[in-house]
Structure 1
């Protein structure tokens, strides 16, 4: 259940990769392709028609619907870990085997299967805490003008 307590929103889901981190959100309303969609050396989305084309996800909490494309998705995200360009955490709504495997090999805290849609509730720049040990994402705000 989603709850608003003071200035925070708590989303409850299922932790896939354990860990706890806090950082700024980067939200995509579109799925993300690994092979041909990201540049692992820079942590940048390079899919030309993607809403986040040219945006770097390194060190951000990546909030997105899930993976698209081939099973190579996980390999490209693993490369971001090896190159030091991985997202800080992953928060996604559509659990697939490629997204789960990608999260595991990237080794960043990951939460999915939420009680409410994080893509709709979180805005790029929000400060979020990902507690994948307990399946929680806490969003601090709302920021002025935030549509919550």
Structure 2
């Protein structure tokens, strides 16, 4: 099954990969190991999972402005997500993705948290404000 959802471009670019989805905000400052890409925030639903090369789907970011640089550092280390999708992005995540050149969409026509599932193959075309989700055998 393959379908498209439109959203708002936050950071331009195109990327694709398997989805990693959570309904909890993500904090890069103390919540993500920027050398490994592993979520380290104890109690977070993604604790112990890697964001490296994934399309990271989460409601919004949280934490201080230092998180922007940590997003960039994770990307520079090759362990950042290839793209992000948020319900509604906030400034820390937006700035981090701008400097790291990570494509981002938010405010999708459908709630991305309930629509996209872990391991769906997601093509993010932030230039045109659309994602294509492939679920099932073709993913």
TM-score bin (small chain): over 0.9
Matches within 5 A, 1:114-125: 114-125=108-119
CA-atom RMSD in angstroms:
1.3
Aligned-partner SS, 1:67: coil
Q: Aligned match of 1:55 in 49, 57, 64? A: 49
TM norm structure 1: 0.88
Whether contact under 8 Å (1:86, 1:106) holds in the other structure is: no
Aligned residues: 137
CA shift, 1:9, in A, is 2.2
Q: Distance in 1 between matches of 2:37 and 2:99?
A: 15
Structure 1 residue runs without a partner (length 5+): 1-6
- The answer for unaligned runs of 5 or more in structure 2 is none
Give the conservation status (yes or no) of the 8 Å contact 2:10–2:94.
yes
Q: Secondary structure of the equivalent of 1:26?
A: strand
Q: Is the 8 A contact 1:17 1:109 kept in 2?
A: yes
- Could you list the structure 1 runs, at least 4 aligned residues long, displaced by more than 6 angstroms after superposition: none
User: TM-score if structure 2 supplies the norm length?
Assistant: 0.93
